[in-house]
């Protein structure tokens, strides 16, 4: 049986990095591994923002807790009529 690293045309150490979730591995390598596993068709689903619950939570936490208006923005200035 052919090894995953051979099928994905990459090294065993790179496959180990993929398995460990190393952020230094390129998307091309991930695509090669998914292709070798017969899962490349699922890449859109895997990358869909709707499926990234942790990313959504991090994005919500990074939003400002309170929005404040700039001074003077509450009063409307008169503008010339056309």
Position 81 scores a pLDDT of 65
Taking residues 57-81, what's their average pLDDT?
73
- Full-model pTM: 0.54
Domain-embedded: residue 12? yes
Domain-embedded: residue 27? yes
Number of domains in the chain: 1
Report which DSSP code applies to 37: T
**Within 10 Å of residue 46's Cβ, how many Cβ atoms?**
12
Q: Provide the domain limits for residue 18.
A: 4-59
* Upper half-sphere CA count for residue 32 (Cβ side, 13 Å): 16
Domain-embedded: residue 8? yes
| Listed range (38-42, 43-47, 62-66) with the worst mean pLDDT | 43-47
Domain-embedded: residue 65? no
Domain-embedded: residue 30? yes
Domain-embedded: residue 45? yes
């Amino acid at each position: 049986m052919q090894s995953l690293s051979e099928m994905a045309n990459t090294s065993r150490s790179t496959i180990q990095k993929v398995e460990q979730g190393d952020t230094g591995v390129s998307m091309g390598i991930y695509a090669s591994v998914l292709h070798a596993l017969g899962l490349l068709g699922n890449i859109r689903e895997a990358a869909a923002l709707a499926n990234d619950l942790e990313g959504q939570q991090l994005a919500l936490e990074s939003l400002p807790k309170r929005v404040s208006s700039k001074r003077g923005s509450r009063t409307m200035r008169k503008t010339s009529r056309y």
